[in-house]
Amino acid sequence: MARTFELESGVVDALNDVSLSAPVGSFIALIGPSGCGKSTLLRLLAGLDDPNAGTLSIGGRSPSELRRAGRLGVAFQDPALLPWRSVTKNIALPLQVSGQSVRDNEERIAALIELVGLSQFANALPGQLSGGMRQRAAIARALVTEPDLLLLDEPFGALDEILRRTMNLELQRIWSDRRPTTVLVTHSIEEAVFLADRVAVMSVRPGRIIEIVDVSFGRPRSPELLRSPEFHMLADHLSDLLHSGVSTR
């Protein structure tokens, strides 16, 4: 599968000959240097963009079919909450957009708010929340339609390192609750190894996947894992791959 962009300066191969498959209910992480096409790949998966060559198939359906059916969930680095809506109403937005009744799903929304630990802030406006709380609300919003595919684009990229680790634990807990097939784009090797079943390492110009590494640690994964030698060996291996990807351009 490939995606090129025509700019004034010429044609850019954003993605070239990318091939990746994921079992239902698995957690895939995409890591790579800036400009390697991670986000482009995610936009293609979200049906927000189309490939120039090749196909994407999610359970036999194209991303745009899945998107129109409201079977996708997405969270970005920026929580992108509507500032005039409370947490509850922000989480309800995808339901409203896909034409589902909010009233029928009130219990599910409340359960999601509980799951992301915002019960006391259900009626708070985004402006009254901390950065981490907003991000949790955005993740709850991504899950509200019970998506077949959850897409996370650097969801904790704007948070500090300590909060990021906490949020990774939270994300693992939330994800384990329903196990949607998940694709996480990240800069952080640690985050990728800690959360994913499978890590795809990408390189730049043209954007391509240079290696797919399986992560076989059992779940639930605890913070102690971060200090284990196995974890570090895997992280070092990924780090070497990333650097080779940068140097070969």
Partner 1 sequence: MKWTRVARGALVVAIIFAVWEMIGQWELVAGGALPPPSNIVRQFWEDRSDYPPHLSVTLKSAGLGFVFGDVIAILIGVISARWRVAESLFRGVGVSLFAMPLIAIVPVLLLAFSGTIPRIVLAAMAVYYPTYVATIVGMRSVDPRLVDVVRVAGGEEYSVTRWIRWRLAVPHIVNAFKISAPAALLGTLLVEFGGGSRWGLGTYLLGSLGQANPARLWGIGLTATMVAALAYAMFAVIARRLTRASLSATVDTSVIRVEPGLWPRRIAMVFLSAGFVLGLWALTLKLLGMSPIVAKSPWAVVEYLTSDPRAAATRDRLFDAYRETLPLALLGLVCGLLAALILAVVLQLKPTLGRSVLPFALISQTMPLPALTPLIVLIFGRDVLATVVVCVSVTFFPSFVTISQALASVSPAAIDVVSVSGGGRVRALRYVGLPGSVPALATAARLAAPRALLGVMIAEYLATGNGLGNLLNESRGRLDYGMIWTVATTSVLVAVVITQLIGVFERLGHR
Q: Which residues bind partner 1 (CB under 8 A)?
A: 46-48, 67-74, 76, 78, 80, 82, 84, 93-94, 96-98, 141, 145, 151
> Is the link from the previous residue into 147 a cis peptide, with omega within 30 of 0?
no
* HSE of 126, CA atoms in CB hemisphere, 13 A: 18
Query: CB of 94: closest distance to partner 1 in angstroms?
Result: 4
- Smaller CB separation from partner 1, 4 or 98: 98
- Smaller CB separation from partner 1, 42 or 118: 42
- Smaller CB separation from partner 1, 152 or 201: 152
- Whose tokens are 């994921």? That residue is 22
Sheet containing strand 27-31, strands side by side: 72-75, 149-153, 181-186, 27-31, 198-203, 208-214
- Of the candidates 123, 126, 219, 217, the one whose C-alpha atom is nearest the C-alpha of residue 171 is 219
Query: CB of 98: closest distance to partner 1 in angstroms?
Result: 4
Determine the Cα angle at 176 with ends 224 and 72, to 5°: 130
- Smaller CB separation from partner 1, 137 or 242: 137
Query: CB of 214: closest distance to partner 1 in angstroms?
Result: 28
The amino acid at residue 248 is T
Query: CB of 46: closest distance to partner 1 in angstroms?
Result: 5
Q: Residue 221 gets which letter from DSSP?
A: P
